[in-house]
Amino acid sequence: MSRFLYELIGLGAGVMFILALKGLSHPRTARRGNLLGAAGATIATITVFFYSSDGQLPLNNLGWILGAIAVGLIIGVPAARRVQMTAMPQLVALFNGVGGGAAALVAIVEYLKLGQSASTTVVIATVFTVIVGSTSFSGSIVTFLKLQELMTTRPVVFAGGRFVIAGTLLATLGCAGWVVTSLGTTPLLVLAGLSLAFGILFVLPVGGADVPIVISLLNAFTGLTVAAGGYVLDSTLLIIAGTLVGASGTILTRLMAEAMGRSLFGTLFGAFTAKPQDSSGTGEDRPVKSGSADDVAILLNYARRVVIVPGFGLAVAQAQHTVRELADLLSAKGIDVAYGIHPVAGRMPGHMNVLLAEANVPYEQLSEMDEVNPTFPQTDVALIIGANDVVNPAAKTTPGCPIYGMPILDVSQAGNVIFLKRSMRPGFAGIENELLYDPKTTLLFGDAKASLTKVVSALKAL
């Protein structure tokens, strides 16, 4: 295949990626967009087997290459297929991380290959790819661990932490200069090591609520490394694809931060400004009003309007079908039922929509935060199922807490508030929820699905 044809096909794949992103931005075309992107990636991958810059086909090491692809498929496809909906966000983080790692490795190999013959701009692009790719790799692993709850979801902040981070960053940049001037292999490996450390330190102090924003940011970073790798390898396709992801990822990060009411700056530089917090929680023993399934059923039965607020616990308990049953039952009794969907309920944006769509909840019943908030004063019961942070008034009242400033669902305006959760434990952000102690709140302890099943039978028995 001629170089021209090869690059033309690459450009075609780039166009498919543009159309893919465009498609993914609209609900109706999203799936088609994703498939288009997959088609573009497939075409680009197949094409590379039919062109070699040294003119020799088949490619050198062809067997190894195919083998490695097979290994990647064997790991990636089942992971993506089998993962629980609840674990998707961390899987995305992980996929992003390995992409960053791959870009860093590609740059390292090309650097080893070019040796002293590399031009300064190519070396700079290599260094950029290694730093950002490695940072993205290790940072994504940490977000994965946080989301998977293999480590604490709270900001990890230690005394003097910000100096350590700043020091690592400076060391990384210094080492980058060393690589550019010396063109040695050792400096490059040191650089990779430092960047990995920086990635960890960068993500550790990020608060739980900011994790999806950080994933999106690292995603944009990885895009840029791919673009830089494209420069090193002289591939228009990689430049276009990487830049696209970098730019759209940056915008997306900003949009997500806005949707969650977070400042992007605060999220990014949280690492430098966060102070160790008194997050011990006084292990309070204040009284709460705990009720039975019958109490809850009665409250619901005499309501005119009920707003259901689902959260991460609904996903954990896989109670989406049961909640739908309850809602249908209430509707059948002439009660006005709506779901109040907070943009960051669950562990990824749109998590609740996905979950409830699975149970065929009618789309009209799902109300976004801005729609549902004004209706709480006319609501008799707010039924909170496995949600916590998204209704926590601390977001309004406690400056300095990890979710301060995030808009919340104003359930306290409703006549009665019912919480379905297993314990008094806090939510993702790890902070107490005053609303649990409010006199108008009733708590029904237990797994969401079990509790809902009981409430449904109690309602039927009424």
Partner 1 sequence: MEAMAIISIFTLSIFVGFEVVSKVSSTLHTPLMSGANAIHGVILVGAIIVADHSDNSLELGLSLAAIVLATINMVGGFVVTDRMLEMFKGKGAKNKGSGDK
Nearer to ligand NAP, 201 or 214 (CB): 214
Task: Find which of ligand NAP, partner 1, none residue 422 binds, CB within 5 to 8 Å per kind.
Answer: ligand NAP
By CB under 6 A, residue 340 contacts ligand NAP: no
Whether the CB-CB separation of 402 and 208 falls below 8 Å is answered with yes
**Is the four-CA dihedral 391, 397, 400, 406 of positive or negative sign?**
positive
Q: Which of 54, 370, 389, 438 is catalytic?
A: 389
By CB under 8 A, residue 329 contacts partner 1: no
By CB under 6 A, residue 208 contacts ligand NAP: yes
Q: Tell the smallest beta-carbon distance from residue 287 to partner 1 (Å).
A: 38
Q: Point out which span in 10-18, 167-175, 321-329, 409-417 binds partner 1 (CB under 8 A).
A: 10-18
For ligand NAP, the binding residue among 347, 356, 369, 408 (CB under 6 A) is 347
Cα distance between residue 406 and residue 396, in whole Å: 8
Q: Tell the smallest beta-carbon distance from residue 149 to partner 1 (Å).
A: 19
C-alpha closest to that of 154 among 402, 448, 445: 402
- According to DSSP, the β-strands at 336-341 and 366-368 are parallel
Cα distance between residue 131 and residue 430, in whole Å: 32
Chain positions 384 to 443 lying near ligand NAP, rule: CB under 6 A, are 386-390, 403, 420-423, 425, 427-429
By CB under 6 A, residue 191 contacts ligand NAP: no
In whole angstroms, how large is the CA radius of gyration of the chain? 25
Chain positions 55 to 94 lying near partner 1, rule: CB under 8 A, are 59-61, 64-65, 67-69, 71-73, 75-77, 79-81, 83, 85, 88-89, 91-92
Q: How far apart are the first and last CA of the chain?
A: 75
For partner 1, the binding residue among 1, 48, 164, 190 (CB under 8 A) is 48
Chain positions 17 to 76 lying near ligand NAP, rule: CB under 6 A, are none
For partner 1, the binding residue among 112, 151, 166, 170 (CB under 8 A) is 112
For partner 1, the binding residue among 177, 193, 350, 374 (CB under 8 A) is 350
Give the contact letters, 225-264, x = binds to partner 1 (CB under 8 A), - = no: xxx-xxx-xxxxxxxxxxxxxxxxxxxx--xx--x-----
By CB under 8 A, residue 30 contacts partner 1: yes
Chain positions 353 to 412 lying near partner 1, rule: CB under 8 A, are 353-355, 357-358, 360, 362-364, 368
DSSP 204-238: TT--GGGHHHHHHHHHHHHHHHHHHHHHHHT-HHH
C-alpha closest to that of 146 among 219, 212, 79, 218: 212
Angle of CA points 72, 73, 77, to nearest 5°: 120
- Other beta carbons less than 10 A from residue 304's beta carbon: 12
For ligand NAP, the binding residue among 179, 345, 361, 443 (CB under 6 A) is 345
Task: Find which of partner 1, ligand NAP, none residue 11 binds, CB within 5 to 8 Å per kind.
Answer: partner 1
By CB under 6 A, residue 257 contacts ligand NAP: no
By CB under 6 A, residue 139 contacts ligand NAP: no
Secondary element (H or E) of residue 383: strand 381-385
DSSP 157-199: --TTHHHHHHHHHHHHHHHHHHHHHH--HHHHHHHHHHHHHHH
DSSP 28-81: TTHHHHHHHHHHHHHHHHHHHTT--TTS-SSPTTHHHHHHHHHHHHHHHHHHHH
Secondary element (H or E) of residue 131: helix 120-147
Q: Which residue is nearest to ligand NAP (CB)?
A: 427
Cα distance between residue 18 and residue 33, in whole Å: 9
Q: Tell the smallest beta-carbon distance from residue 21 to ligand NAP (Å).
A: 20
By CB under 6 A, residue 111 contacts ligand NAP: no
Give the interface size with ligand NAP as a residue count (CB under 6 A): 33
Task: Give catalytic status of residue 389 as yes or no.
Answer: yes
Angle of CA points 48, 52, 53, to nearest 5°: 125
Residue in this structure with the two tokens 């990995």, named with its chain if needed: 196
By CB under 8 A, residue 178 contacts partner 1: no
Residues lying near ligand NAP in the complex (CB under 6 A) are found at: 89, 208-209, 211-212, 311-313, 316-317, 344-349, 351, 386-390, 403, 420-423, 425, 427-429, 447-448
Q: Which residues are catalytic?
A: 389
